[in-house]
Amino acid sequence: MRQLPHPGPRPARLVRHGGGPAGRGPALDFSASINPLGPPAAVLRAVRLALPAVARYPDPASAALIARLAARHGVAAEQVVVGNGSSELIQALPRAVRARRAAVVEPTYTEYLRASLLAGAEVEHWLAEGDDFTPEPFDPAGADLVWLGNPNNPTGSMWDRARLIDWVRSFPRTVFAVDEAFLPFDPGEASLSLVSEVQHLPNLLVLRSLTKLYALPGLRLGYAVAQPELAELLREQLPPWSVNALAQAAGLAALDDDDFLRRTYRWAEEERTFVCGRLAELPYLRPLESRTVFVLLRLHGCTAAGLTAALAQRGLLVRDASNFVGLDGRHVRVSFRSPEDNRRLVAELAACAAEVCG
Ligand SMILES: Cc1ncc(COP(=O)(O)O)c(C=O)c1O
């Protein structure tokens, strides 16, 4: 790990994410990682049934949803905090722990940096090294908050679980926020997740999102799991009714759908193997080792701006990853979609790379 100089951006300038608003042109969107199998039919049914509830305020405690999440993870209800997407919880966490100095394991999701800056914290950036950005523990040296993604966006890398737990245990005065937004796509989720460790680690908070797995980014739903004291600090920062009635109903239905999960595991495994395998055979780019539902590509002979523009001309949207701290203008992230779309992605990428990078 190597500490980077502070890039000095203003928080607002960091807001650039994958995914575009619907209905603008024919773009096939490979820039945001949303499960193409979703939303599950049972979830849409539950949302339709819940529609009359929009005329009342929702349960401010989201009690039924929280009870269901707590049962799923084998923790007490007071250890679960739900939010309007995990983004809301990411924004609230630095305020909740009154972070004065935060450390971010880079390159990663830029909201950790933005949330820390907005809460008035100083931010240190620690860059994972090696060809695939393999993350390693480091001495957070006085940071009160450490952020990391597991699997990490945009690199797709995973931490060695035992090393990560040892690291969290070694710095009990630092809160570790472990973002598992993309872990539920992995069939090994139960044994890879750190949620079961919160019982032993009062300084650990695990963030989860339901919007990617169940394809509900327009509805917004996420949660965090921690020991009761830390969970309460986070809950105190949230506005009332932040999880609306439809999202509560959707979450309850989603968590019952085991068949959807099984189909998702199969899709993720097959499409990762296909896309990464085929892209590895192409000249001008190298797919980094990914454990999840997107892959970071390192380009040779052209820039991300050039390649994304060429793909856009052909109706394909991919994520120019050059604004992630620690990445340069040679990185592009692509998310996996349906088998048919992914075949088109591989063919168009091959053609565009030959045209732009060759
Ligand atoms: C790593 C990571 N965490 C959290 C989020 C936020 O997800 P949501 O607010 O939809 O739960 C995103 C969204 O792209 C993400 O990439």
Q: What is the tens place of the pLDDT at every residue in 69-104?
A: 999 999 999 999 999 999 999 999 999 999 999 999
Centroid of ligand 1 to alpha carbon of 135 (angstroms): 20
pLDDT for 146 equals 98
Mean pLDDT value across residues 206-216: 98
Are 18 and 212 spatial neighbours (Cβ–Cβ below 8 Å)?
Answer: no
Closest ligand 1 atom number to CA of residue 217: 10
pLDDT for 5 equals 75
Distance CA 164, CA 159 (A): 6
Mean pLDDT value across residues 274-298: 97
E strand or H helix that includes residue 177: strand 175-179
The single-letter code of the amino acid at 221 is: L
DSSP lists the bridge partners of residue 105 as: 126
Residue 18 pLDDT > 70 = no
Q: In degrees rounded to 5, what are phi and psi of residue 105?
A: -85, 110
Distance CA 123, CA 8 (A): 10
pLDDT for 141 equals 80
Q: What is the largest CA-CA distance in the chain?
A: 59
The single-letter code of the amino acid at 243 is: V
pLDDT: is 6 or 26 the higher one? 6
Confidence band, pLDDT 50/70/90 cuts, at residue 3: confident
Ligand 1: which of 84, 109, 148, 152 to mutate, most ligand atoms within 8 Å of CB?
A: 109
Measured at the CA of 334, the angle between CA 211 and CA 40, to 5 degrees, comes to 30
* Percentage with pLDDT > 70 across the chain: 94
Confidence band, pLDDT 50/70/90 cuts, at residue 119: very high
Mean pLDDT value across residues 173-197: 97
Burial class (CB in 10 A: 0-12, 13-18, 19+), 320: buried
- pTM, 2 dp: 0.95
Are 217 and 241 spatial neighbours (Cβ–Cβ below 8 Å)?
Answer: no
Centroid of ligand 1 to alpha carbon of 358 (angstroms): 35
Mean pLDDT value across residues 133-151: 95
Name which residue sits closest to atom 3 of ligand 1, judged by CA.
181
Closest ligand 1 atom number to CA of residue 88: 9
Mean confidence (pLDDT) of the chain = 94
Q: In degrees rounded to 5, what are phi and psi of residue 212?
A: -85, -50
Are 288 and 133 spatial neighbours (Cβ–Cβ below 8 Å)?
Answer: yes
Distance CA 121, CA 143 (A): 10
Closest ligand 1 atom number to CA of residue 149: 1
Confidence band, pLDDT 50/70/90 cuts, at residue 228: very high
Ligand 1: which of 111, 114, 147, 210 to mutate, most ligand atoms within 8 Å of CB?
A: 111
Distance CA 287, CA 148 (A): 21
Name which residue sits closest to atom 6 of ligand 1, judged by CA.
87
Radius of gyration for the chain, computed over Cα atoms and rounded to the nearest angstrom: 20
Tokens at residue 112, please? 């950790």
Residue 293 pLDDT > 80 = yes
Q: Which residue has the tokens 């052909």?
A: 314
E strand or H helix that includes residue 347: helix 339-356
pLDDT for 227 equals 98
Mean pLDDT value across residues 275-299: 97
Cβ < 6 Å from ligand 1: which residues?
17, 85-87, 109, 149, 153, 179, 181, 209, 211, 217, 222
DSSP lists the bridge partners of residue 106 as: 127
Residue 181 pLDDT > 80 = yes
pLDDT for 27 equals 85
Residue 154 pLDDT > 70 = yes
* Percentage with pLDDT > 90 across the chain: 90
Ligand 1: which of 31, 33, 82, 86 to mutate, most ligand atoms within 8 Å of CB?
A: 86
Closest ligand 1 atom number to CA of residue 90: 4
Centroid of ligand 1 to alpha carbon of 212 (angstroms): 8
Residues in the chain: 358
pLDDT: is 131 or 15 the higher one? 131
Centroid of ligand 1 to alpha carbon of 210 (angstroms): 9
**DSSP 8-state secondary structure symbol assigned to residue 220:** -
Centroid of ligand 1 to alpha carbon of 117 (angstroms): 18
- 262-295 CB burial, b ≥16 within 10 A, e <16: eebbebbeebbeebbebbeebebbebbbbbbbbb
Confidence band, pLDDT 50/70/90 cuts, at residue 230: very high
Residue 4 pLDDT > 90 = no
Closest ligand 1 atom number to CA of residue 182: 1
Confidence band, pLDDT 50/70/90 cuts, at residue 24: low
Q: In degrees rounded to 5, what are phi and psi of residue 155?
A: -80, -25
Q: In this predicted model, what pLDDT tens digit does every residue of 316-348 receive, in sequence order?
A: 999 999 999 999 999 999 999 999 999 999 999
Closest ligand 1 atom number to CA of residue 222: 11
